[in-house]
Amino acid sequence: MDRTASADEATAIAAAIARFEADTAPAVAAEAEAVSPWQRAALTEAVGAKGIVQRHLEGGTKWQS
């Protein structure tokens, strides 16, 4: 079988391959936030707690338990 594809057949094959690649390509992931809401809350609370812990370590306040 020494027959080569005609121009129309080659075009159809190329189109089929392109469609297959488009159909099976992974979805483009949406860009995630730089800081998640949970991480933002944790960072905010840690910044607020830093002063309390620092005062305790310096002896300015005592922990209540």
Cα distances from 56 to residues 37, 42, 52, in angstroms, run 29, 21, 6
The predicted-structure confidence for 3-53, as pLDDT tens digits, reads as follows 888 999 999 999 999 999 999 998 887 776 677 888 888 878 776 666 667
Q: What gap in Å lies between CA 39 and CA 34, rounded to an integer?
A: 10
**Quick one: tokens of 9?**
């057949």
User: ∠ at Cα 50 (45, 55), nearest 5°?
Assistant: 140
Amino acid at 27: A
pTM, full prediction: 0.41
Amino acid at 57: L
- The mean pLDDT value for 42-65 works out to 69
pLDDT at res. 6: 93
